[in-house]
Amino acid sequence: AYTAEPFVPDGGGLPALRKAAADCRGCPLHRDATQTVFGAGAADARVMLVGEQPGDQEDRQGKPFVGPAGKLLDRALEEAGMDPADAYVTNAVKHFKFTQAEPRKRRIHKAPSLREMTACGPWLAAELAVVEPELIVVLGATAGKALLGSSFRVTQVRGTVLEEEIHGRPERLVPTVHPSSVLRADDREAAYSGLLSDLRVAARALG
Ligand code: URA
Ligand code: SF4
């Protein structure tokens, strides 16, 4: 089975994890992507935000949530009363998965498979073990399935505080939609205010 497990170092904190993840070959996604996009933020961050996978901009720059979805997320976090600089931001899958009709044509995001999500899970588990966040904000269905299992339905639990055991640790989580889904929505204003009210629940839960 595909797995990142043999690539994950035992100690050394976030710098060692980030360095090792750069050479991960735990699943085929490393082949076509530019680079591993590991999580970013402080090891003592109180909140961890988990997205799906890097997009085109993230793949080029090597940092999570630096493209259009990240801009929208930062704005919503600030409006909800959370400082984006105080959060640790990462993704369920660390390599960009895409289709491309021809070389030099636009790269179109493709959803990661369950096998790829499972393969990449040890990196997310290692990030959680180091950061030990007080709260996890789950951004969309892929992050939800990666953390809480394949029965996760974002519409059923968004904007609520869940308490679940994840990788042997009790965690508090607030799920919401993925910021990219707000950019794609027919009614963007309504979608944005939905995201915002979920993030306000997270801000309140942090205290
Ligand atoms: N979407 C994600 O899920 N993660 C990113 O880092 C960027 C866009
Ligand atoms: Fe490793 Fe995850 Fe990249 Fe697959 S997606 S190669 S498991 S870092």
- The CATH class given to the 5-206 domain equals alpha beta
Answer for the pair 98, 108: CB distance below 8 angstroms, yes or no: yes
Q: How confident is the model at residue 7 (pLDDT cuts 50, 70, 90)?
A: very high
Query: Of 43, 15, 16, which Cα lies nearest the Cα of 7?
Result: 16
- Cβ–ligand 2 distance for 33 under 6 Å, the answer no
Residues 6+ apart with CB under 8 A from 89: 39, 40, 41, 48, 49, 51, 64, 65
Q: What is the mean pLDDT of residues 20-25?
A: 98
94 Cα to the center of ligand 2, angstroms:
6
Q: How far apart are CA 196 and CA 159, in angstroms?
A: 10
Task: Check pocket membership of 58 for ligand 1, CB cut-off 6 A.
Answer: yes
- Is 107's C-beta closer than 6 angstroms to any atom of ligand 2? no
**Residue 186, pLDDT score:** 98
30 lines ligand 2 (CB under 6 A): yes
Is 27 touching ligand 2 by the criterion CB < 6 Å? yes
Residue 2 — very low, low, confident or very high, per pLDDT cuts 50/70/90? very high
Q: Is 136 in the pocket of ligand 2 (CB under 6 A)?
A: no
Query: Model ipTM?
Result: 0.96
pLDDT digits (tens, 9 = 90+) for 68-126: 999 999 999 999 999 988 999 999 999 999 999 998 999 999 999 999 999 999 999 99
**In the chain, pLDDT over 70 holds for what percent of residues?**
100
Cα(32)–Cα(189) distance, rounded to whole angstroms?
Answer: 35
- Can you spell out the DSSP letters for 160-172? S-EEEEETTEEEE
Q: What is residue 107's predicted lDDT score, i.e. its pLDDT? A: 96
Reported for 162-166, long-range contacts at CB under 8 A and 24+ positions apart, including other chains, are: 166/128, 166/136
Which residue, among 156, 143, 174, 149, has the nearest Cα to 50 in the 3D structure? Answer: 143
Residue 187 burial by CB count (10 A; 0-12/13-18/19+): exposed, middle or buried?
exposed
For ligand 2, atom 8, which residue shows the shortest CA distance? Answer: 94
How far apart are the CA of 77 and the centre of ligand 1, in A?
Answer: 15
Is the sign of the CA dihedral 50, 87, 66, 96 positive or negative?
A: negative
pTM across the whole model: 0.97
User: How does pLDDT run across 148-199, given as a tens digit for each residue?
Assistant: 999 999 999 999 999 999 989 999 999 999 999 999 999 999 999 999 999 9
Query: Taking CA 167 as the corner, what is the angle to CA 163 and CA 168, rounded to the nearest 5 degrees?
Result: 75
The pLDDT of residue 92 = 98
Q: How confident is the model at residue 142 (pLDDT cuts 50, 70, 90)?
A: very high
Where do the H-state alpha helices sit in the chain?
A: 13-21, 56-61, 68-79, 114-131, 141-148, 154-157, 179-184, 188-206
Query: Considering all CA atoms of the chain, what is the largest pairwise distance in Å, rounded to the nearest integer?
Result: 49
